Structure 1
Amino acid sequence: MMNDPSAATALGMLIAPLSPAEFFEHYYERKFHRSPVKHSQTSGLLTLDRIDEIISDSELPPSAISMAKSGQSLPADEYTFSNGVVDRGAVLDNFRDGATIILPQLQFADGKLYNFCLALERQFGARVQTNVYLTPPEAHGFGVHYDNHDVFVIQLSGAKEWEIYGDREALPFRGEGFRKGQDDTGELKENFVLEAGECLYVPRGTSHRAPNHGTEPSLHITVGILVQTWAEFMLEAVAEASLRIPEMRRSLPRDLFFDRSKAQSDHAAMFRQLADDIAEKASFDATLAAFSGNFIRAQGPRVRGALRALANGIGMEDRLTVRDHILFSFEGGDGDRQIVLAGSSIPMSDRLAEQLDERIGQGSLAKADFDVDDAEELGDVIDSLVAYGLLVAKPK
């Protein structure tokens, strides 16, 4: 059972028998990899019984489920009521009639999947999400297509017959979806059956199709790696540099679109001047700080156990540990220190920040470990770090 995977364990299962170095050097963003190893622990991530429980007993807003059949998405009104509420009976009836049940971003509703995603985020430096597909026998959800993000496929039960086609000439951007009838899928390169316990990596831009195989329903998880590109980083660098280039804030010339001769001289010269200014004043460190802070803040909080700990109260001697896979950073200078983590920025005094940084680096702490003048600030900051999921208290 994969209850609390380490980053190495999570990635290792997906790419076995490759090492991380082999995977990132030879396969990542380049070519697909089918792992020949069958992993029994995949069944610990999600089961058919858990899917049954989610569909029958969980709150299901319209965005929590979708369906597809014979290569096409089903209209939402075929499995929802007129007010948008999911019609659970219609979902199951459509499944019985050959439609695939899709549970997008199920990690936000399932703790095991969420922890698995958090473990992978540190490996890829990118947001990670899951989409779950339950396909009835002798059916397929989608036709030949490519995804605009890299994916790992974890086959949990049943089997899928995979067809791998050619690659695009360049990696697609995130918003650059496959256009049926317009985009070339290339020639069929590989055909194989992915069985329960096996994993597959498919880079973005690699066309594929995966009809069901055999007489059992197929349950698989698609793990999406939502990378940020150098193009996005450079756009942020331009935006950040423009704060120090006043000319960047001026409106475009009124005759830019209408006076072609001037556009080739004066306006082109201004463009080159601004490009030179950006090259001179763009800051890698400032851009990195902005990207890093946004990445940390966007990570969903993991707060299991925090309510009980706060309800019981956290005493001076209570030992707290750092929760696995939670991202954070200390930011600011003298007199303006804060710790940034999912959903929050918590300010604190310089003295507390210095000691807290050291204690967190050691992996565990108690309030009694700190030598500070303001005990009220200490208690408030430590309790807030429990509330936002960075620190975990042992059950009393």
Structure 2
Amino acid sequence: MALRAPAFRVVKGGVTLDPSTCARRARIGSRTVTDLIDVGRVYAHFGDGATIVLQGLHRYWSPVAEMCRDLEEELTHPIQANAYITPPVAQGLRVHADRHDVFALQTHGRKQWVVYEGDQQPGPDGADGTPSLDVQLQPRDCLYLPKGVHHAARTVDSASIHLTLGARTVTWGDVLADIVEGSGADPSLQEALPAGFARNPEALAAEGRRRLQEAADRLRAADVADAIARVARGFWTGRVPALRGQLRQLLVAGDVDDRTVVRRRPHSSCAVSRHGDALEVVLGDRTLRMPASAEPALRMALDLSELTPADLSDHLDEASRATLVRRLVREGLFMAVDG
């Protein structure tokens, strides 16, 4: 698979090299693209001391994608992955802080890391700070860097490969933003400011305080549980489904009967909630709706690692349970097992 920018970049001394210095033109179908990775030029930059950065590995490299999905399932926070390949005696990025939590996993060689206390502003060369941690990572070592903590890493006598797992944590600020967004629909907040307000904004201060107090009262009365549920749903609906081998499953789904063995697809995502007489099943990029009567059978299927439709006989008749399992196979949540 040939990468296209920005899935790769090349960095040296804290500066990202112009993509044109490591990319080439090519025709894909009827279009000409200019951002296709030029492997030879990228290797040449590496030989000159540059770091190769592979971005978004969680999207296209199965081993990393599966690890990230498992970690997401456990944390229920989105996870992204990048790889950094640095030659000996070199530094890719200078001192910086990320806007998300980072787990740095050393996989090859050694790398020297310096980490500064959270409130320090050490500058890009670290001259204005004192490291609180100066450590060399070996293969299988892991370093946790909370968001906002300044850090830098460089190689000494060996090349290095490390993987970063970035946790884009869902925050209480996201919950508050959801509540505020809902409150913003209040008609009183859609009223225009008076004509000519910009010439004397101070005259509106008292009215502004009154309206702010009313908005604060509405925020205090908001249903926080509903807001958290909406934010949680945003996590589940934002996950890309794992559908490796799904073409074959689509071909055999119609043959599922009471004796067909099916298995939960590894790394698949599923969130089930009930709304009155309907069941909502979120599978990442799509949402299924089923009658609430299917809930006991569905939850039993999710609890089992492997089953046949006949195993659901306590909850559904033969035709209904076959229909349910066929749909779960078609949607990629379960897979029919060979043999």
Instruction: Specify the TM-score bucket, using the shorter chain as the normaliser.
Output: 0.7 to 0.9
Task: Please list, as runs of the form range in 1=range in 2, the aligned pairs for 1:78-157 lying within 5 A after superposition.
Answer: 78-81=21-24, 83-157=34-108
Q: Distance in 1 between matches of 2:318 and 2:228?
A: 33
How far residue 333 of structure 1 moved from its aligned partner, in angstroms, is 2.1
Does 2:271 match 1:329? yes
2:183 and 2:215 in contact (8 A); partners too: no
How far residue 181 of structure 1 moved from its aligned partner, in angstroms, is 6.2
Q: Distance in 2 between matches of 1:387 and 1:63?
A: 33
Indicate the structure whose relative CO is greater, using CA pairs within 8 Å and at least 6 residues apart: 1
1:166 and 1:185 in contact (8 A); partners too: no
- Partner of residue 227 from structure 1, selected from 169, 179, 182: 169
Under a length normalisation based on structure 2, what TM-score does the superposition of the two structures give? 0.86
Q: Which residue number corresponds to residue 260 of structure 2?
A: 318
List gaps (5 residues or longer) in structure 2.
26-33
Q: Distance in 1 between matches of 2:177 and 2:41?
A: 45
Q: Distance in 2 between matches of 1:309 and 1:185?
A: 59
For each residue in 1:90-129, what CA deviation from the matched residue of structure 2 results, as whole angstroms up to 9, or x when unmatched? Answer: 1111111111111111121111111111121133321011
2:242 and 2:267 in contact (8 A); partners too: no
Q: Which residue number corresponds to residue 113 of structure 2?
A: 162
Does 2:222 match 1:271? no
Note closer, same or farther for the CA distance 1:300–1:231 as it changes in structure 2 (3 Å cut): same
Q: Which amino acid aligns with 2:271?
A: S
How far residue 134 of structure 1 moved from its aligned partner, in angstroms, is 0.8
Q: Distance in 2 between matches of 1:185 and 1:366?
A: 65
1:301 and 1:388 in contact (8 A); partners too: no
2:95 and 2:125 in contact (8 A); partners too: no
- Partner of residue 356 from structure 1, selected from 274, 295, 298: 298
- Partner of residue 203 from structure 2, selected from 252, 262, 268: 262
Under a length normalisation based on structure 1, what TM-score does the superposition of the two structures give? 0.75
1:85 is paired with a residue of what secondary structure? strand
Q: Which amino acid aligns with 1:307?
A: L
Q: Distance in 2 between matches of 1:305 and 1:259?
A: 66
For each residue in 1:243-268, what CA deviation from the matched residue of structure 2 results, as whole angstroms up to 9, or x when unmatched? Answer: 5x332333444455433343221222
Q: Distance in 1 between matches of 2:128 and 2:305?
A: 49
2:95 and 2:122 in contact (8 A); partners too: no
2:114 and 2:132 in contact (8 A); partners too: yes
Note closer, same or farther for the CA distance 1:59–1:152 as it changes in structure 2 (3 Å cut): same
- Partner of residue 385 from structure 1, selected from 309, 328, 331: 328
1:298 and 1:342 in contact (8 A); partners too: yes
Note closer, same or farther for the CA distance 1:374–1:254 as it changes in structure 2 (3 Å cut): farther
1:146 and 1:207 in contact (8 A); partners too: yes
Q: Distance in 2 between matches of 1:181 and 1:196?
A: 27
Greater fraction strand = 2
- Partner of residue 212 from structure 1, selected from 150, 155, 169: 155
Q: Which residue number corresponds to residue 337 of structure 2?
A: 394
Q: In the comparison of the two structures, how many residue pairs are matched? A: 327
Q: Which amino acid aligns with 2:244?
A: R
- Partner of residue 75 from structure 1, selected from 18, 21, 24: 18
Tell me the percent identity: 26
Q: Which amino acid aligns with 1:145?
A: H
Note closer, same or farther for the CA distance 1:196–1:288 as it changes in structure 2 (3 Å cut): same
Q: Distance in 2 between matches of 1:387 and 1:92?
A: 43
How far residue 332 of structure 1 moved from its aligned partner, in angstroms, is 4.3
Q: Which amino acid aligns with 1:141?
A: G
Q: Which residue number corresponds to residue 187 of structure 1?
A: 130
2:241 and 2:269 in contact (8 A); partners too: no
Note closer, same or farther for the CA distance 1:125–1:317 as it changes in structure 2 (3 Å cut): same
Q: Distance in 2 between matches of 1:252 and 1:350?
A: 48
List gaps (5 residues or longer) in structure 1.
1-57, 170-177
Q: CA RMSD in A?
A: 2.7
How far residue 300 of structure 1 moved from its aligned partner, in angstroms, is 1.8
Q: Distance in 2 between matches of 1:316 and 1:255?
A: 74
2:49 is paired with a residue of what secondary structure? coil
Does 2:142 match 1:203? no
Note closer, same or farther for the CA distance 1:250–1:393 as it changes in structure 2 (3 Å cut): farther
Note closer, same or farther for the CA distance 1:65–1:362 as it changes in structure 2 (3 Å cut): same
Note closer, same or farther for the CA distance 1:340–1:254 as it changes in structure 2 (3 Å cut): farther
2:217 is paired with a residue of what secondary structure? helix
For each residue in 1:309-367, what CA deviation from the matched residue of structure 2 results, as whole angstroms up to 9, or x when unmatched? Answer: 33334333223233455332223423432211211101112222342123323444432
Decide which structure has the larger Cα Rg and report it: 2
For each residue in 1:162-208, what CA deviation from the matched residue of structure 2 results, as whole angstroms up to 9, or x when unmatched? Answer: 11122127xxxxxxxx9966999632222221111211111111111
How far residue 382 of structure 1 moved from its aligned partner, in angstroms, is 3.0
Q: Which residue number corresponds to residue 290 of structure 1?
A: 230
